[in-house]
Chain A
Amino acid sequence: MAASEQEILEGLAEIVNEETGIPTSDVQPGKSFTDDLDIDSLSMMTIVVNAEEKFGVRIPDDDVKGLSTVGDAVSYIQKASA
């Protein structure tokens, strides 16, 4: 059963909060992981690994580099889980 875009955003925001302490309300589709949320590459990997488990998807390391905004990650996860 594929999750909706909103469900993915909420789930991702929870993971980001859990791993970095950034408030869930700051995790919005237009936000850049590095420039806006100040998430470094290692923290990004912890988010990716948790998102893979939560949404039952696989996000290869090469694709992680292309996910610059929260919206990018949401779309990627939605496509991968469709």
Chain B
Amino acid sequence: MTTTPLTDAQRVVVTGLGATTPLGGDVPSTWSAMLAGRSGVKVLTEEWVDALPVHIAAPAAVDPSEQLERVEVKRNDRSGQFALIAAREAWAHAGTPDIDGDRLGVVIATGIGGVLTLLANYDLLVQKGPRRVHPLAIPMLMPNSAAAHVGLDLGARAGIHTPVSACASGAEAVAYAVDMIRSGRADVVVAGGTEAAIHPLNLSAFAQMQALSTRNDEPERASRPYDKGRDGFVLGEGAGLVVVESMEHARARGATMYAEIAGSGITSDAHHIAAPDPVGRGATRAMQFALKAADLTPADVVHINAHATSTPTGDVAEARAIAGVLGEHAAGACISATKSMTGHLLGAAGAIETIATVLALYERKAPPTVNLDDPDDDVKLDIVRGEPRTLPDGPLAALNNSFGFGGHNVALAVRSVDQ
């Protein structure tokens, strides 16, 4: 693919991070909870929960109403609220870049979009009639709503996009942002994902797929990637966004560069609408493409933030694919499955895990995988357990994997940066 090295105008770096997650209302609290191995999974207290097989989820640690103006809460779906909070944190963290809006893009993915607004308004329609349907229901429920609201907030006019690829969406957004900068469409892009889907309909629907953990009596132990006792994922909510820009642009304005998004690989399985390819062909090709695009080899990879959702088949398929891609170098890469703490934030997952990967390289600390008591015999990888793992000195490279229902595979190659 790339034979000539990329110029600093083509290299894309992360200069700002923002998030609101089940572990904390911002990046510092989320990251410290991750390093401490804390779980954000709880027993839900809503009255509807008793009728469902699943009583647990990972709600946002801080309700968005505590971080936004009252009118902003009213005019945004909960997923849009999370995105606004994360975008403002990321933008401030990037140093509030002084940039022409014509050169600023926004790419915010979601798995399901404004589903809470949709369902609430359907209830209003049925219970109170069409006149009570909210006049802003459509602008709130459309999947691009969060991206559009953040675009308005920041004055972004280089283009606003919403990749939708189920649980790969958040990572796909970051890949798309890199392409926007490399193709010259934008100088700075705010990219990531958001999700707010904790509702009895979604929980019932995922439960009907046998996709969710029903470890209702031990919520903090429910999300257990790679463990023999894993029985499905735990639904989470929140948002993660990064500010990306060309290295040239970041250097010119003296911005801190937390890591480089060095390459991406995007493939599709063409295997099944929901089940992963059992031998992980699509995942394998995505990782290989990402490494190649980044001009990296398996020997360079010291860390992987795995997709690892805690489902019986998915975790093993990915683990096999990782082992296959890294081959003899697999022992040199430590693997973190941070969904063991955050739960699975669907369209936001890949973005929050991009942030975790960036911070792992920047702080040279890989977060632990919790609840891994009895590793699956088919997982032959070095999983970080218990304590965070210190990463070596020198240049580092990592992968962030995200896969989604529909057969979507996205791998991002992330590299440490010398300031």
Contacts and interface: CB of A to CB of B under 8 A. Distances in A.
Interface of A: 18-21, 42, 45-46, 49, 52-53, 58
Interface in B268-296: none
Contact of A19 (B74, B131, B132): B74
Given A19-B74, A21-B69, A53 B132 contact: yes
A45 B75 CA distance: 13
A46 B70 CA distance: 15
A45 B74 CA distance: 14
Contacts of A18: 70, 74
A42 B139 CA distance: 10
A49 B71 contact: no
Contact of B70 (A21, A49, A53, A58): A21
22 contacts: A18-B70, A18-B74, A19-B71, A19-B74, A20-B71, A21-B69, A21-B70, A21-B71, A42-B135, A42-B136, A42-B139, A45-B135, A46-B134, A46-B135, A46-B136, A49-B131, A49-B132, A49-B134, A49-B135, A52-B131, A53-B132, A58-B131
Interface of B: 69-71, 74, 131-132, 134-136, 139
Contacts of A46: 134-136
A53 B70 CA distance: 21
A57 to B, nearest CB: 12
A65 B329 CA distance: 70
Contacts of B74: 18-19
A52 B134 CA distance: 13
- Report, nearest first, the 3 A-B pairs whose CB atoms are least far apart: A45-B135, A21-B71, A46-B135
Residue with the highest number of chain A CB atoms closer than 10 Å, among B69, B70, B135, B136: B135
Contacts of A20: 71
Nearest to A21: B71
Contacts of B136: 42, 46
Contacts of A52: 131
A69 B136 CA distance: 22
Contacts of B132: 49, 53
A66 to B, nearest CB: 18
A22 to B, nearest CB: 9
A38 B134 CA distance: 20
A58 B132 CA distance: 12
Contacts of B71: 19-21
